[in-house]
Structure 1
Amino acid sequence: MDHKSVARVAFKRTWLEPLPAVLSWVVAWWLLFWLDGRVNLANQALLLVLAAAVASLWLPLVAALLLSLVSVLLFNWHFVSPRGSLSVEGNQHLLLLGAMLGLSCITALLIASQRRQAGLARRQAGQAEQLRSFNDSLREARDWASLGALLQAELQAQLGRPTHLMLLRQEQALPQQNLAESVHWLAASGPSSAADLSAELSADQRAGLWQCLRQAQAFGPGTARFEGQPDWYLPIRGRGAALGAALLRPSRAQAMDAGLLTHLQLLCTQMGLALERLTTEHLAQMARDEAASQANRNALLAAISHDFRTPLACIMGAASSLQDQDARLSPAQRTRLLATILDETEALADMTANSLQLARLDAPGMSLRLDWESAEEIVGAVLRRARQRRATLTSNEDGESHGVELQACLQPGLPLLRCDALLLTQLLGNLVDNAHKYAPASHIEIAARTAQEGGQRFVVLAVRDRGPGVPLAWRERIFEAFQRGAEQQHAAGPDAKARRGAGVGLAACRAIAQAHGGQMRYRSRGHGGASFECWLPLVASPQAEEMPA
């Protein structure tokens, strides 16, 4: 509906509102003339008082009083002797006319008072509903800028005039001096800088906003403070100090409306409480993050102190045997002790690298050393390292040695990766070590291929085996730090030594993948076994950018 239609509807409503009152007076006067001579004068007067009471339900107080006076005079003119004049014969008629006028005026006053109270109740109910709706909107907002925009829109809707807001920046304490850089400015047209706002607000108005913010008190017309000011300055405060201030420019009629001022201040107070709630939630989240970080550090230290104890004991035992009993040891015994020292040292190095990498990748502000790398070279480096460590490393107690079948399966024409090659090498190395631990007698394969999902292309780096796989209940938890599965946590027997660890290898893999914008996934293979996959999103390589169109 356009403005002209709204104006026409308002005009019709203005003229139609007193129509029932006019009809009641018309009916009453028709009955008066019809009953003239049939009933006595006192009964006719009661009919006129009834019409005045009914008309007062729709007429303003002044109009109702004037019509009551005019109706009494007309009643005297037409029905009281001598008729056709305003003179009155006898005290009884004078008393009757006075009673009519008094009853009509008292009735109009009472009905007008009830109408004012009903209007005030409707207004308060509407304001309460607006406060409830505004509070719901504030609960959905998650940042200070959106909260300020909500308050500004609500104030401008209530006042019908431009509104300016000044909000302290989040987690910013009140500065000692009036620094424009420490606050957000919201002009009538939206967020604004201090330089732009100087063109809309005078120096006195900006100083008034700062004064309102510092004192956390309202001032202006009807506030009992600086009432000579033409504008309202309302603090945006919660339970503590003010967090902002609002500048409103009421009209003369609005400046005299105490109820409107109270409602606008309630809106500002709700805003202050919402800002305090948002600050409290932010601080609570920071505390939770700090507690979680501290818990991770404590768990890391506990895991290191527990899982490093066994290899250190083995190293110390082998080294002390070599030192104290070197003359009585055979060459084969010396070789086994040296091999023990080397194996345990490598295990300590792997656990240390994974633990430090996990802590580094979880630290805020961490940045990677990204470069364009070849997936084939990364896989080749992992193969060379794994074969050097595992190709013919292990031997049975009866002297029979065995190797582990390890090979690569790479898709031809793989694109370059924008990555940290050392981290991806560590990721694949961890996966290969895990496969050796939990599927030692199976065929292990390092694969690399491209895939597409959700309209985005990925390079998938995977390590596959034909071992027992991971139980369904543990497939999501295995990528969490210090989670190794119940059957591994209580493992015993000949494989317990090979499977010990702090439980940070897969967690480090997930942290490396997430640091590259990718993710780690577990997939069970169709004919048995497990596939641990790192999905890395593809970005345009320099080769693709340099190719001619």
Structure 2
Amino acid sequence: MEHQRPNPDQLLERIQSANQQAQRGRLKVFFGAAAGVGKTYAMLQAAQQRRAEGIDVLVGYIETHGRAETDALLVGLPQLPALQVEYRGTNLREFDLDAALERKPSLILVDELAHSNAPNLRHAKRWQDINELLHAGIDVYTTVNVQHLESLNDVVAQVTGVIVRETVPDAVLESADEVELIDLPPDELLGRLNEGKIYIASQAAQAARNFFRKGNLIALRELALRRTADRVDAQMQRYRHDHAIPTTWPTRERLLVGVGPSPLSERLVRATRRMANDLKAEWLVVYVETPKHLRLSDADRDRVTATLRLAESLGAQIVTLGGINPGEEMLRYARQRNVSKIVVGKPAQPRWRELLFGSIVDQLIRQSGEIDVYVISGEHDDTHKPKAKPSLQTRSPKINYVKSSGVVLICTALSHAIFPHLELSNLIMVYLLGVTWVAARYGRGPAISASILSVAAFDFFFVQPYLTFAVSDVQYILTFIVMLIVALTISTLTVQIQAQAETARQRERRTAALYAMTREFASIRGLDNLLQTAAQHISSVFEGQTAILLPNPKGQLRPIVGQQWPFISDQRELITAQWVYDHQQKAGMHSDTLPSAQAMYLPLIATRGIVGVLALQPEQPRRLLDPSHVHLLETFANQTTVAIERAHLAEEAQAASVQIETERMRNSLLSSVSHDLRTPLAAISGAASTLLDQTNQLDQHIQHELIQTIADEGQRLNRLLSNLLDMTRLEAGAVQVHKEWQSLEEVLGTALARLAPHIDQRSISIELPNQAFVPFDSILIEQVLVNLLENSLKYTPSSSPIEIRALERVGLIEVQIADHGPGIPTSALETIFEKFFRVQAKRSASSGVGLGLTICRGIIEAHGGTIWAENRPEGGAIFAFTLPIEGQPPQIRGE
């Protein structure tokens, strides 16, 4: 019963997923093989049934194509008016997403899931509209044909000769809560076509000659049935997984073949391929990587690799498992994948070894339960070949046997020292400890040798009669046997644990390397840095030279700055890489295409297409024969692809952001400048035309006023253009600050003199320190004072006073311009110095373009100071800025 208990983590994940799904609307897809099978009709029937149950149903968009029986089902269902969109002189009917969201029914019907929306709508595809409806908690019924699935686009084009342009990502159908297959035999569908129930007569005849051929309909029907069956099988697998059901449900054939270093493995793969083809079934090839894998000879390793590559080329799914017992691992995985048949080879080992150590075939047959087991025999051509020797790396050096004998000698000496004080059973523990030490340090062979020597030493030195191998008490024979078995078992288990630990360390290193690269990708900015990081990690893990090639706008692969590719200097290597990019297939070393290349080339295929090519030239090319290494390399390539695509998207987002900001600034500039230019130009033009047309009829006073208007508006226009030019120079960095020790009083006086016509009778008080000398650019600071004073004059009553004061601080001087006007809104204090920002929503005749304060900020920051605005407690606003004081002012002679 323990195996039937759901995994707590999986149970928690399922609960969280259910909670998220509860907040999302449910999607039901009416799925068919072709147009005319009755998807819309079935959807309307289901909608009428739901309406009868009291559900709020709304028809969002329906295409009945004039079919009377379909139109009849619309009676009683409220319909959403279609959105009329004009496109190239034609009015298009589209689904009104905003109206649907505002209406928010319980269930909405949206026909034609794969439809492409008209330009300028919020989403390019209708399935995106439906996704937004689902996120809003609205249930959706929709329809789609099998030829619109993205993954089947090429298959449909090959079968029918028609390239379907409107496609839907497979994930949309896979995420649907319910898929109902609407099936109709091809003969009945053709009958409906001839009766004009699908298309009008002229279109029906053309369709029958092209897409609606009987062979096409049969093929599309099979695709639809298979896709629906795959979805049902996935649901069944998920149910078994969620409820921890250990038994296999043979609802569909799925084959598994176990392979190993035996020459028979290739024959097993071919036989399983034929069986799977006859059954039209999915098939898996499983290799269990046990501790023995580390001790395999090079020939056996190459045989395993060749078998897995053969299986992969024949279309199998390759799976590498890890464990001690291959039979248990295969059965566990077979039940997990709902396998119906297991194929294995006949055992080639002697019968006594099967009786002593067991047989994988016997284990599979006895424990397979409801899974069928096929045992296949075969002849192979290496019967008379000498057995391959283990690789040098797996054989224990002779010195280890000497060391193991030394450990037994130490155990004997230690036992002799404690022999008078302890029982013989305790001495056995000393020897077992020594055997464990030898097994942990020197391997299986020395451990077995130490086990035998320990039994012999124990008998020779500590069992009567001493110093002889004779045994006076028969019971010690059993002790020796048990001691030998225990010692051999401990040594074997210790070696296996070490081998498992080494295998786990190798996998951990691979996982850690992948994690490290992914973690660095998350913090790296810039495509070049990202590529350098990916190349370094891949080179480190696979011990070779790595290159990542990206295309130029013409689709030609180009080198990346900062990467060195000595192995791609050959033109043939570049041709191989370009072939991989053009065909989006793997090529190069140990592949079926251009195998003479010096490196393996993998395409980096992202969601929006291929983004580049990964090239790897390993120092040990044999490693790329192992499918597990190739799969790991593909995983690194996929992570690199995702990172590259993310970098491209970030660049596009940045470019789009800049473009949006530029467009916003352009619109703001055009809006502001057009108004502020038009106003003075209109005044100048009106006054000038009046003078020209009625010169002799106007008295001198009116003429003077018109001339004064032209002068005033000309000055205003001049200030506006000056502000625009100054802002442009500041943003371009063309303004150079020439600091000189200046008297703040003189610059302030010049600024007030420039504004004298606007000050009129305004009261202005000035408080300055005595002899306030500050290093600054007098022309620029004068412009700052003019802009700030002009701003105060514009936005305060004509009778209110203005106060100017300067305060000496440590290392700087602070200048304040205070008024008694309405003040500044709190929300505008942080943005008042931004370009084109104006506090007043409505422009007055005296309002500017919104650049004066921005220019002030640019000039003050260029001087190394700061500028800000604040409101006075008693009312009014204060604009203040600081100027740093560096060094000592020059001494004035004559004082």
1:258 aligns with 2:258: no
Maintained 8 Å contact 1:304/1:502: yes
- Match for 2:758 among 373, 385, 390? 390
Between Structure 1 and Structure 2, how many residues are aligned?
457
User: What is the CA–CA distance in structure 2 between the aligned matches of 1:414 and 1:262, rounded to whole Å?
Assistant: 71
Instruction: Report the CA distance between 1:534 and its aligned residue.
Output: 4.3
Q: 1:186 to 1:320 in 2, by over 3 A?
A: closer
1:437 aligns with 2:755: no
- Match for 1:155 among 538, 546, 550? 538
Q: 1:428 to 1:282 in 2, by over 3 A?
A: farther
Maintained 8 Å contact 2:603/2:614: yes
Three-state SS of the structure 1 residue aligned to 2:773 is coil
- Match for 1:522 among 860, 865, 869? 869
Maintained 8 Å contact 1:408/1:446: yes
User: What is the CA–CA distance in structure 1 between the aligned matches of 2:569 and 2:708, rounded to whole Å?
Assistant: 83
Maintained 8 Å contact 1:390/1:404: no
Equivalent AA in structure 2 for residue 383 of structure 1: L
- In structure 2, the partner of 1:373 is 739
- In structure 2, the partner of 1:473 is 827
Instruction: Report the CA distance between 1:433 and its aligned residue.
Output: 0.8
Maintained 8 Å contact 2:547/2:563: yes
- In structure 2, the partner of 1:412 is 772
Instruction: Report the CA distance between 1:247 and its aligned residue.
Output: 4.1
Three-state SS of the structure 2 residue aligned to 1:510 is helix
- In structure 2, the partner of 1:7 is none
- Match for 2:784 among 420, 427, 444? 427
User: What is the CA–CA distance in structure 2 between the aligned matches of 1:307 and 1:441, rounded to whole Å?
Assistant: 26
User: What is the CA–CA distance in structure 2 between the aligned matches of 1:343 and 1:303, rounded to whole Å?
Assistant: 20
Three-state SS of the structure 2 residue aligned to 1:501 is coil
Give the alignment's Cα RMSD to 1 decimal. 6.2
TM-score between both structures, scaled by the size of structure 2: 0.39
- In structure 2, the partner of 1:4 is none
Three-state SS of the structure 1 residue aligned to 2:751 is helix
Three-state SS of the structure 2 residue aligned to 1:502 is coil
- Match for 2:713 among 344, 350, 354? 344
User: What is the CA–CA distance in structure 2 between the aligned matches of 1:507 and 1:138, rounded to whole Å?
Assistant: 39
User: What is the CA–CA distance in structure 2 between the aligned matches of 1:133 and 1:352, rounded to whole Å?
Assistant: 56
Maintained 8 Å contact 2:781/2:859: yes
Equivalent AA in structure 1 for residue 524 of structure 2: A
Equivalent AA in structure 1 for residue 851 of structure 2: V
- In structure 2, the partner of 1:183 is 560
Q: Once the two structures are superposed, what CA deviation does each residue of 1:149-181 show, in whole Å capped at 9, x if it has no partner?
A: 42244224423x4x5444568x95478697xxx
Maintained 8 Å contact 1:510/1:519: yes
User: What is the CA–CA distance in structure 2 between the aligned matches of 1:328 and 1:203, rounded to whole Å?
Assistant: 89
Equivalent AA in structure 2 for residue 489 of structure 1: A
Three-state SS of the structure 1 residue aligned to 2:562 is strand
Three-state SS of the structure 1 residue aligned to 2:755 is helix
- Match for 2:653 among 281, 284, 293? 284
Three-state SS of the structure 1 residue aligned to 2:835 is coil
User: What is the CA–CA distance in structure 2 between the aligned matches of 1:540 and 1:483, rounded to whole Å?
Assistant: 37
Three-state SS of the structure 1 residue aligned to 2:632 is helix
Instruction: Report the CA distance between 1:141 and its aligned residue.
Output: 0.6
Equivalent AA in structure 1 for residue 785 of structure 2: L
Q: 1:514 to 1:164 in 2, by over 3 A?
A: farther
Maintained 8 Å contact 1:237/1:244: yes
Q: Once the two structures are superposed, what CA deviation does each residue of 1:302-354 show, in whole Å capped at 9, x if it has no partner?
A: 22333444444444444455455555655444444443333333333323332
- In structure 2, the partner of 1:237 is 604
Instruction: Report the CA distance between 1:275 and its aligned residue.
Output: 2.2
Equivalent AA in structure 1 for residue 877 of structure 2: A
Equivalent AA in structure 1 for residue 733 of structure 2: S
- In structure 2, the partner of 1:91 is none
Q: 1:228 to 1:296 in 2, by over 3 A?
A: closer
- In structure 1, the partner of 2:320 is none
Instruction: Report the CA distance between 1:116 and its aligned residue.
Output: 9.5
Three-state SS of the structure 2 residue aligned to 1:531 is strand
Instruction: Report the CA distance between 1:138 and its aligned residue.
Output: 0.5
1:212 aligns with 2:572: no
- In structure 1, the partner of 2:304 is none
Q: Once the two structures are superposed, what CA deviation does each residue of 1:348-394 show, in whole Å capped at 9, x if it has no partner?
A: 33233324443x2586xx2314152335475554333223x3354xx
User: What is the CA–CA distance in structure 1 between the aligned matches of 2:767 and 2:758, rounded to whole Å?
Assistant: 15
- In structure 1, the partner of 2:841 is 489
Equivalent AA in structure 2 for residue 306 of structure 1: H
User: What is the CA–CA distance in structure 1 between the aligned matches of 2:545 and 2:807, rounded to whole Å?
Assistant: 58
Three-state SS of the structure 2 residue aligned to 1:237 is strand
- In structure 2, the partner of 1:510 is 857
Q: 1:506 to 1:158 in 2, by over 3 A?
A: same
Instruction: Report the CA distance between 1:278 and its aligned residue.
Output: 1.2
Q: 1:531 to 1:165 in 2, by over 3 A?
A: farther
In the TM superposition, what are the counterparts of 1:104-253 in structure 2 within 5 Å?
127-128=510-511, 130-159=513-542, 161=543, 163-167=544-548, 173=553, 183-186=560-563, 201=566, 208=573, 211-212=576-577, 215-216=580-581, 221-225=589-593, 227=595, 232-235=599-602, 237-239=604-606, 240-243=609-612, 245-251=614-620
User: What is the CA–CA distance in structure 1 between the aligned matches of 2:578 and 2:529, rounded to whole Å?
Assistant: 20
- In structure 2, the partner of 1:191 is none
Which runs of no fewer than 5 residues in structure 1 stay unpaired?
1-10, 23-55, 68-111, 188-196, 393-401, 491-495, 545-549
Three-state SS of the structure 2 residue aligned to 1:415 is strand
Three-state SS of the structure 2 residue aligned to 1:372 is coil
Q: 1:220 to 1:450 in 2, by over 3 A?
A: farther
- In structure 2, the partner of 1:51 is none
Maintained 8 Å contact 2:751/2:786: yes
User: What is the CA–CA distance in structure 2 between the aligned matches of 1:157 and 1:432, rounded to whole Å?
Assistant: 66
User: What is the CA–CA distance in structure 2 between the aligned matches of 1:324 and 1:124, rounded to whole Å?
Assistant: 94
Three-state SS of the structure 2 residue aligned to 1:142 is coil
Instruction: Report the CA distance between 1:478 and its aligned residue.
Output: 1.8
Q: 1:379 to 1:153 in 2, by over 3 A?
A: farther
Q: 1:443 to 1:211 in 2, by over 3 A?
A: farther
Q: 1:212 to 1:150 in 2, by over 3 A?
A: same
Residue range with higher mean Cα deviation, 137-146 or 264-273: 264-273
In the TM superposition, what are the counterparts of 1:73-92 in structure 2 within 5 Å?
none
Q: Which has the higher contact order (CA 8 A, sep 6+)?
A: 1
Equivalent AA in structure 2 for residue 434 of structure 1: N
Q: 1:497 to 1:267 in 2, by over 3 A?
A: closer
Q: 1:340 to 1:517 in 2, by over 3 A?
A: same
Q: 1:115 to 1:391 in 2, by over 3 A?
A: closer
User: What is the CA–CA distance in structure 1 between the aligned matches of 2:808 and 2:884, rounded to whole Å?
Assistant: 10
Instruction: Report the CA distance between 1:267 and its aligned residue.
Output: 1.6
Q: Once the two structures are superposed, what CA deviation does each residue of 1:478-502 show, in whole Å capped at 9, x if it has no partner?
A: 22333322xx334xxxxx8564333
Maintained 8 Å contact 2:729/2:735: no
User: What is the CA–CA distance in structure 2 between the aligned matches of 1:122 and 1:202, rounded to whole Å?
Assistant: 31
Instruction: Report the CA distance between 1:450 and its aligned residue.
Output: 7.2
Which runs of no fewer than 5 residues in structure 2 stay unpaired?
1-396, 409-438, 451-494, 891-895
Three-state SS of the structure 1 residue aligned to 2:819 is coil
- In structure 2, the partner of 1:302 is 671
User: What is the CA–CA distance in structure 1 between the aligned matches of 2:505 and 2:755, rounded to whole Å?
Assistant: 80
Instruction: Report the CA distance between 1:416 and its aligned residue.
Output: 4.3
Q: 1:202 to 1:153 in 2, by over 3 A?
A: closer
User: What is the CA–CA distance in structure 1 between the aligned matches of 2:696 and 2:750, rounded to whole Å?
Assistant: 41
Equivalent AA in structure 2 for residue 415 of structure 1: P
Q: Percent identity at matched positions?
A: 25
Maintained 8 Å contact 1:464/1:529: no
